[in-house]
Amino acid sequence: MDKPEYASMTLDEMAQALAPAVADAAIFDGWTDKAVASAAEFEGLDPDVARLAYPGGAMDMIEAWISATDRAMAEALPAEMIRQMGFSQRIRSLVVFRIEQAAKKREALRRALVVMAMPQNAVRTAKLSWRTADLMWRMAGDTATDFNHYSKRAILASIYAATLAVLVDDGSANQAETYAFLDRRLQDVARFGKAKAKFTGADREHFSLARLMGRLRYPAR
């Protein structure tokens, strides 16, 4: 594969193009200036110029890596391919692609999750998680604009984050434990969706909030 033409790129473009190499270096050096310098030297780029692409330090590097993965996902799973799948399979395929990419750089992922979990990075991490979930839903063909738009993305962001946390410590062959965990979570969501549809369908004319709260507090025997 030809190396990117960094000389013609903006700093944002450079950050994304260099991000996979930075992630490779982060396996050994963490998400640090040293990783950026190592990646730049490998790519034949001036390290001082490369550092300009990540003025915010580690979180800028991690965000660029996520953005590079977003772009790779869109290229690997174009709309014409996605449309041939059932809806639930679309979401699973998108998440699986990201797992496969992250599994190649598991130590970099582990270090990234530590950085993202720091209190000062909480807001930015939440925005990045939302952005990734939103992209996956849009690629899957979701057009919801009501409350479901937000709930779907919040749920998927939670599932994806939890799955990555399992991946970093998964010692099973071919990430079998990670995929089993993902499938259980997706099944839970599917069951919830069916129950919700039933609840808001035939019974919605008879819905009583007071009755529901009473049942939650004092379940029928």
Cα dihedral 142, 145, 151, 157, rounded to 10, equals: 50
pLDDT tens string 201-220: 544 444 344 443 444 444 44
- pLDDT tops 70 at residue 81: yes
- pLDDT tops 70 at residue 68: yes
Residue 173 inside a domain? The answer is yes
Could you tell me the residue range of the domain that residue 64 belongs to? Answer: 9-76
Concatenated DSSP letters for 87-145?
HHHHHHHHHHHHHHHHHTTHHHHHHHHHHHTSGGGHHHHHHHHHHHHHHHHHHHT----
| 86 and 192, same domain (yes or no) | yes
pLDDT tens string 112-133: 999 999 999 999 999 999 999 9
d(CA 215, CA 201): 19
Residue 123 inside a domain? The answer is yes
Looking at residue 197, what is its pLDDT? 52
Q: Which two tokens stand for residue 133?
A: 């979930």
Looking at residue 67, what is its pLDDT? 97
| 154 and 68, same domain (yes or no) | no
d(CA 209, CA 98): 40
| 39 and 136, same domain (yes or no) | no
Q: What share of the chain is helix, strand, coil (3-state, %, to 5)?
A: 80, 0, 20
Average pLDDT, stretch 160-179?
96
Looking at residue 3, what is its pLDDT? 73
- pLDDT tops 80 at residue 164: yes
- pLDDT tops 70 at residue 196: no
